[in-house]
Structure 1
Amino acid sequence: MKRKLLVTGVAGFIGYHVAKKLIEDENNTVIGIDNLNDYYSIELKKKRIENIKTNDKYNNFSFQYCDISTAQSLKDLFIENNFETVIHLAAQAGVRYSLINPDAYIRSNIVGFTNILECCRHHKIKHLIYASSSSVYGSNTTLPFTEEQSVDHPISLYAATKKSNELMAHTYSHLFSLPTTGLRFFTVYGPWGRPDMAMFLFANAISNSTPLDLFNGGEMLRDFTYVDDVAECILRLCELPPTEIHEHSVQFAPYYRILNIGNNQPELVLNVVRKIENYFKKNAIIITKSIQPGDVHSTYANIESIFKLTGFHPKTSIDSGILNFLNWYSSYHNLSLNSKI
């Protein structure tokens, strides 16, 4: 049966991989939107889109420029299309950048998310799946993080906007019976990743023999989650009826659900640096710095809920994931390959 899905932030890292996976099913028609902002390389974003559009196997994808913080353009998009499912991945990302440009986070993550909720409400969308973040756990120290833990103490504006998204979704689920599922992503990495993320920054510094700022000496734990595993989780959630996903939702919002999407196996950041050193056969030029404002010491996802719902468990080991990323990185930058971790 044919269905039409909207993927927001489709030129972004996760959005690109999700769209690629969705269009493999010829019964899906996917419309992807993005505002192609200059937070990082627009060229990288355009190349992601071109990779999807030029795949001769599929003709069930189209791209439209759209800024979600502009309500009318979003309303027009929903009027023109009969979407069944909305996968909302557009957001202003980055914990540290939220200290520099807070306005961008309010426009995209608060105003933009409100516009998405309003469009989904008025057009009777069957399921809104949206990106939250592991950063909402803030300074929680009880590991692994579970969806039931309190997330009332975010320590960055980025985290606060994602926590706000969850509260806003709760309200719309309660008031309008809008099925919403928020996904708390844990340190997603892989090919076509963002240049501001740890894995990309490490590879860039080590391959170019430039200094690498390592906060807290790399003595932090991150639950690095491979992007194909994340995309597979989202695909499986799209296949489930919302009633099944929300069967055990909270009392006052029976159509509301939050899920951790992580690897369930945190890695020491310094060990990741060492693996990348081995690949390039170069030592990192490390400059040790204090932990940054807004950063947390450890992230570690309890993923029992997503497993019970979908039967999914991450398949990609950290070694395989890093190798896949570095092979892409080397190819993208025309570097020689060592193919060894």
Structure 2
Amino acid sequence: MNASAFDVLVVGLGPGGASAAAVAARAGLSVLAIDKRRTIGEPVQCAEFVPLTMGRYAKPALVQRIAGMRSVLPSGACEHSDFPGLMVDRAMFDQALATEASRAGAMLRIQTALKGLEHGQRAAILRGPEGHVERAHYKVLIAADGPHSTVARCVGLAPLKTVETRQYQVPLQRPYDDTDIWLSDEFPGGYGWLFPRGPVANVGLGADRRLAGDLKAPLERLHATLMRDEVVGAEVLGRTGGSIPVGGIRVPLVHDSILFVGDAAGLTHPITGAGIASAVVSGERAGLAAAEFLARGAALDEYAADMQDEFAESLARAVARREWLMERWHTPAAHLDETHKRGWIAFREYFVR
């Protein structure tokens, strides 16, 4: 078995991992970043919306601008909110970030999976293309490997709570610059959505499988409704799905010399599912924390405190709202507009204690 050594090992080359690798490499650290996929950013497993604050990152992958959000309640009442943002080509977005990491000096390896950790020795067992096995020694490991983190499992940390998503890409029948959200007991533990992407749209839903069971049937009904209203066409151009963490910030965020970022850190918003921006922010902060730790012995726990300051309040509110909603799914309350107003960010009721 071959062996190598790096200052920083990054597991996962989504937005969090690529951002961490870039920052650490720019600080002069030797960085190895791995991803088990054949192509970075694929398959796409999100609705591809980012807030305006991500503008400088989104530029290479920008598809269109979003003006607002329409939130549709069980009664059919609709709330229109100003909610500006950007739709991106998520694969191009991730690939652009990875390119920046490579230009900064990070070594990137795709089709390379983490198979195990020799944690006491700070060594990772990696399996690359054609079964090649390598032991990579590290001083800091940044886990950016999603809600079902292999790193977390290897060190015995509890799995994160998740919901499942399913999404179709379909042709749009007319120009669209809003996102549409459907709040309904048909999507328990989540919601339905339409996110426009130029000539096409991402139509999907998220739901808690403990309550929803089959996700295909409600997605087919949503698609059929949008076809009837002549919003989208019948052809399904692509299908995707994935898991979203909904339990709030992972505890601990720092485990010995391991820092968790993005979905692996539980930083995705438990109500909206938004997680790209928090992945980029946490990745950059983790890369900086690794550099400061190795340069001057700064405590890695400062990264955890930083993430708590940045995200804890909004995530705690979302977790509380989610737990409140979980008690009401599949009851008469789940068919009331008032219930969903308290559980969705477009309404003032969401922010009232």
TM-score tier, shorter chain, comes to 0.3 to 0.5
Tell which structure's C-alpha radius of gyration is larger: 2
- TM normalised by structure 1 equals 0.36
Higher relative contact order (CA 8 A, sep 6+): 2
Normalized per residue, the structure richer in strand is: 2
- TM normalised by structure 2 equals 0.35
Normalized per residue, the structure richer in helix is: 1
